[in-house]
Amino acid sequence: MTFLLSDEVAMAIAAGRAVVGLETSVIGQGLPFPRNLECVERMEAAIRGTGATPGWVGLVDGAVRVGLERAELARFAEPGAAVKVARRDVPVAVASGSLGATTVSATIWAAHRAGIGVAVTGGIGGVHPGPRRDASADLLELGRTPIVLIASGPKSIVDPAATAERLEELGVALVGYGVDRLPFFLAREAPVELEHRVETPEGAAAIARAHRALGAQAAIVLCNPIAPEHALDPDVLRAATARAEARMEEAGVAGKAVTPFLLRALAEETDGSSLEANLVLLEDNARLAAEVALAISAATSGR
């Protein structure tokens, strides 16, 4: 079979319990070894500590897997072991038997197919600045996958206004979690106003239930800002991002290698502070995702 759920995830879904979908690209390409293993531990602890089940998504031995054990996740953490897999790459990676680390686009597709209604990431891809205006595959998949994705807005390496506009065109609802402006990954906010806001996991769950009842076919992105004490100064972040982009242009990096390269360069340009901030927001987003999934489960079961 080419699409498999772990016993734990399958039983949780069948029982109507809370499950959270997680991408493996953050392990395979987003964070350096061994901090990526620390990320696994922190996100899993946040989800399980809230009472939900983590459903890591990845490609292993010719199958899309939803629900991975620690030993399997350790394979993704090895430098260079896993290829980066967006939604469009899934059939090729399955056919080749590659170890594939799923991006947001592949993760939400697999999570939705498995029956998982909530997923989590750090920051979504978006529209990159510059004349080519390259756009992440995350955006199109968000426009056609009915799921709730918890994220700290778009990654700080993209154009936030252009990204928000593209998501609006695709019918994706951006909902601020306790904020009126779009979070900007490692920075608290970008100068982009949000039309919708909720204050609690229950408020987000109510929107998710209405979204499901109406048969909407696009995602809801619940935008959870990084905690103020861990956020990077916007001016410092902009300057560091500009230096990282200059390094990328000089190195001739393009395509799927852009985001991993820029995140590594950004960590170097900020003396590691962006890496620490990234780990904090991933853990916090995982906890919120679990809380939203639990609120949806409780309302659906009538508890």
Active site residues: 23, 155
Other Cβ atoms less than 10 A from the Cβ of 199: the count is: 10
**Cβ–Cβ under 8 Å, residues 90 and 29:** no
Q: Which residues lie below 8 Å from residue 100, measured CB to CB, with a gap of 6+?
A: 24, 58, 59, 60, 82, 83, 84, 85, 89, 90, 93, 106
The distance in angstroms from the start CA to the end CA of the chain is: 36
Query: DSSP of 213-227, one letter per residue?
Result: HTT--S-EEEE-PPP
Cis ω before 154 (30° cut-off from 0): no
The residue with tokens 């498995």 is: 114
Rounded CA separation 276/279 (Å): 5
